Amino acid sequence: MNLSIKESYSRPFEFIPQTVLWTIKHRDSEKNNDNLIGINTSIILNLTSLVESFNKELMISWIKNHLSESEAEPEIENDDLPNCDISMGEFLLERLTDELILEIESSEWNKQLKLFTKITNNEVKNIVEQETLNGMNQLFKYRNIITHGNKLSLVEWNYDNKTSERLEPNKFEAIFTFLKQQNLVSGKLKYVKSNIYELTFSNEVIDYFIVTINKYLDQVKESFDISVEINKPLFELKI
């Protein structure tokens, strides 16, 4: 019995850019603040799905491309040598490759950064500019807060007529500090006449992350030498 298996697939990064652009077009005409918060949180989820699916396709395409380049028949000096070692070597290579691809397919952002280093023997900080990488890390902290349904709390201390404030959970405090550094929010939260979500999920914040993602895509594709011949959807991806 002859068995033939052929797989065809697609990933979210192929359709999400159009979805995000369509959403932004309608978002920019929306006046209700609650609706704007909901729209922008949904954009965050779409953006992070785009990035993670892009990373998976990128690494797998890179691996398969390099394997295809090394598939030349090995030279055997002694015709009397058994070919069992060659067959076993091919089997082990295929098995290890399959395991690596399965690891990539089940990975999320933090794991993917480690896999980049594992595959290319190069640290991510040497692949992506530090400012871009910082922005991407903050983006995924945003995503985690949304997907896990965390509350955002403003906590104020008053001691000896001095006040200080912080956001909780602590992870979001780091995000807020980052947004201040990027001049996307300013001042103390207690003086802002809007809720925390409205301030930190503003149109300006979301648009900043879109710019950051496009920088990330360009820098990673260049580092991995992705061409239109290797993977056209990856090569052309941009929001």
Residue 114 has a pLDDT of 93
Residue 2 lies in a domain: no
Q: Are the CB atoms for 196 and 156 separated by under 8 Å?
A: no
Residue 85 has a pLDDT of 52
Q: What is the mean pLDDT of residues 184-197?
A: 63
Record the tokens describing residue 210, joined without a space. 């879109």
Distance between CA atoms of 49 and 57, rounded to whole angstroms? 12
What is the tens place of the pLDDT at every residue in 94-113? 788 888 999 999 999 999 99
- pTM for the model: 0.81
Residue 135 has a pLDDT of 94
Residue 146 lies in a domain: yes
What is the tens place of the pLDDT at every residue in 9-62? 778 888 899 999 999 999 988 888 889 889 999 999 999 999 999 999 999 988
Residue 192 has a pLDDT of 55
Enclosing domain of residue 19: 12-69+85-236
Residue 104 lies in a domain: yes
Give the confidence band of 2 by pLDDT, cuts at 50, 70, 90: low
Distance between CA atoms of 128 and 85, rounded to whole angstroms? 40
Q: What is the mean pLDDT of residues 149-155?
A: 71
Distance between CA atoms of 44 and 50, rounded to whole angstroms? 10
Q: How many CB atoms lie within 10 A of CB 128?
A: 21
Q: Where are the beta strands (DSSP E) in 25-130?
A: none
What is the tens place of the pLDDT at every residue in 111-145? 999 998 888 888 888 889 999 999 999 999 889 88
* 210 contact partners, CB below 8 Å, separation of at least 6: 20, 47, 239
Residue 5 lies in a domain: no
Residue 147 lies in a domain: yes
**Statement: residue 73 has pLDDT above 70:** no
The phi-psi region of residue 122 (left if phi > 0; otherwise alpha if psi is between -120 and 50; otherwise beta) is beta
Average pLDDT, whole number, for the chain? 81
Give the confidence band of 76 by pLDDT, cuts at 50, 70, 90: very low
Residue 45 has a pLDDT of 94
**Statement: residue 89 has pLDDT above 90:** no
Record the tokens describing residue 6, joined without a space. 């052929």
Residue 7 lies in a domain: no
Residue 62 lies in a domain: yes
Residue 80 lies in a domain: no
* Number of structural domains in the chain: 1
